[in-house]
Amino acid sequence: MALVIYISCLLDAELFLGSLAFSDCFGRKLGPKLSWKRHGSPKSQDKYSSLFDNRNEDITDIPDSMDALIEEARHKQYDMPTLLRRMKSMVENNEEKVRAAKLQEALYKHYASSGVPKGLHCLALKLTGEYSSNARARQDLPSPDLAPRLTDPALHHLVVATDNVLAAAVVVSSTIRNAAEPEKIVFHVITDKKTHAAMHAWFALNPQAPAIVEVKGVHQFEWLTRDNVPVLEAMESSQDIKYYYHGDHAAGTNISQYSPTILAAYLQARSPKYISIMNHLRIYLPDLFPELEKVVFLDDDVVVQKDLGALFDLDLHGKVNGAVETCRGDDTWVMSKTFKNYFNFSHPIIASTFDPDKCAWAYGMNVFDLRAWRKADITRVYHYWQKQNLQLNLTLWRLGTLPPALIAFDGNVHPIPEKWHMLGLGYNMKTSLEAVENAAVVHYNGQAKPWLDIAFPQLRRFWSKYVNYSNEFIRQCNILERA
Ligand SMILES: *[C@@H]1O[C@H](CO)[C@@H](O)[C@H](O)[C@H]1NC(C)=O
Ligand SMILES: *[C@@H]1O[C@H](CO)[C@@H](O)[C@H](O)[C@H]1NC(C)=O
Ligand SMILES: *[C@@H]1O[C@H](CO)[C@@H](O)[C@H](O)[C@H]1NC(C)=O
Ligand SMILES: *[C@@H]1O[C@H](CO)[C@@H](O)[C@H](O)[C@H]1NC(C)=O
């Protein structure tokens, strides 16, 4: 009960930005109910005050949770005064423990969200095996007669970059199932070298006709070398950065030294996900698809619920990036992001260059006009700021690919209506279900990804309805539909 409220408050915390995090979960959620704690001192005139006098309590033996207390009360058959006295002891002795528990929770959540669940690992392994043993899993994607469509600018091109086969399957099949004109859809799935065979096998064995799907590995883009992508080289080769991101995340972390907020931000920034080339790839879209004029880029943690055809007819008014702005909207928590949420405005370079109140926008569902992009300076600016931040030991910003993109696309963003892209399903458990149902694309940004155990149960079904649980590989890997 109380513990459950406390835990759900922690889950509620926004690890995504590390900005709001866990402040006062205990006090905020339980405060009013436990307010007798302060008023119930022995000096108070409160007629119950003697009940709360716990000075003789054995402090080595105090239950550490509501559940433990209730268990103890049941076991020892406490009367109400004893129960209340024990409860008071528990609360008073809990402040430090609560802090420690919050820190533990941050650590657990970090591990729970950065590890690959067994089922997904199994799926990739089994499909890789299938690729080598089954010619059908290796067949051309798409078949050679359809290959000209891959570069036909008149079609609807969508791109997803991921090393998660199940996530890619959901993004692709949800898009196609909800498309008014699926025959116009060309999906470009980009993955890394280790996942390439598995990803190919999945889409070869699960054709999406009349739409077509191509699967590319980053290793197949010859120009995507260290020379052309200096930032990636810098990130991979710098010993400091390597340690910073890949070092053992717990070793040497004396967690009691950090506030939960800082620890959460710290762990999040160290997640390998933020240097994954998959995440940086989108900044090379004009070069990855030199023949194309417009693409919709989707993150792998989205579900498409409506026809996206209109996005391809959308006039971006000469801008490069059609995106949903995140500084205003009905959800005042999720939609309250400006530059100051992403950058270190204590740093003079940031403070003198940017406006802290400038509206941010979201990655995850973007329409990119590649013709306008090729005329703009976006990729160079992105590289420039990435390098600056690396040279300054990541003091300009800490997290991910959005901050340099906020800079690089500055002045080149065309705001699109909020209903196109609903955010926060991976960190806001109070997401409105009605709003989810009405959104064209829902985005599980945050740690509670729908394929993880820590997903919010009421939000998972919007994703899992697109998983083919009768597929033999999914069954063999024991990936089960959850209630
Ligand atoms: C961790 O930090 C706390 C507070 O700074 C200190 O009391 C404790 O001894 C440290 N523990 C270790 C193992 O370094
Ligand atoms: C970055 O950190 C390294 C070592 O950790 C240090 O030698 C260097 O001076 C730092 N650079 C800046 C700009 O603070
Ligand atoms: C922000 O910038 C200031 C000034 O350079 C620096 O001292 C501080 O460590 C930075 N904060 C973070 C979180 O990097
Ligand atoms: C699910 O996968 C099986 C193959 O294992 C396939 O026969 C079936 O058509 C798929 N269902 C959907 C809805 O894609």
Tell me, in angstroms, the distance from the centre of ligand 4 to residue 468's CA: 6
If you search the block for the tokens 């989707």, which residue do you land on? 298
How much is the pLDDT for 224? 74
Tell me, in angstroms, the distance from the centre of ligand 2 to residue 393's CA: 6
Q: What is the pLDDT of residues 225-235, one digit of tens each?
A: 666 665 565 55
Out of 96, 99, 253, 254, give the residue to mutate to test ligand 1, the one with the largest number of ligand atoms within 8 Å of its CB: 254
Ligand nearest to the CA of 127: 4
3-class DSSP assignment, residue 21 = coil
How much is the pLDDT for 15? 28
Nearest protein Cα to ligand 2, atom 2: 393
How much is the pLDDT for 70? 80
How much is the pLDDT for 405? 92
Q: Closest by alpha carbon to 386, among 374, 368, 373, 403?
A: 403
> pLDDT band at residue 16, thresholds of 50, 70 and 90?
very low
Facing residues of 189 across strands?
A: 160, 215
Q: What is the pLDDT of residues 182-223, one digit of tens each?
A: 999 999 999 988 899 999 999 999 999 999 999 999 888 877
Instruction: Give domain limits for the chain.
Output: 2-114, 123-476
3-class DSSP assignment, residue 430 = coil
Of 56-65, 124-133, 277-286, 332-341, least confident by mean pLDDT is: 56-65
Nearest protein Cα to ligand 2, atom 3: 393
Tell me, in angstroms, the distance from the centre of ligand 2 to residue 101's CA: 33
How much is the pLDDT for 296? 98
Nearest protein Cα to ligand 2, atom 8: 393
Q: Closest by alpha carbon to 25, among 43, 40, 50, 7?
A: 7
Question: Would you say residue 404 has pLDDT above 60?
Answer: yes
The helices-and-strands tally (H runs, E runs) of the chain is: 23, 9
Ligand nearest to the CA of 244: 2
Closest ligand 2 atom to Cα of 240: 5
H or E element, residue 441: strand 441-443
pTM of the complete model:
0.73
CATH class of 123-476: alpha beta
Question: Would you say residue 368 has pLDDT above 50?
Answer: yes
What's the rounded mean pLDDT across residues 133-161? Answer: 96
The 10 Å Cβ neighbour count of residue 8 is 14
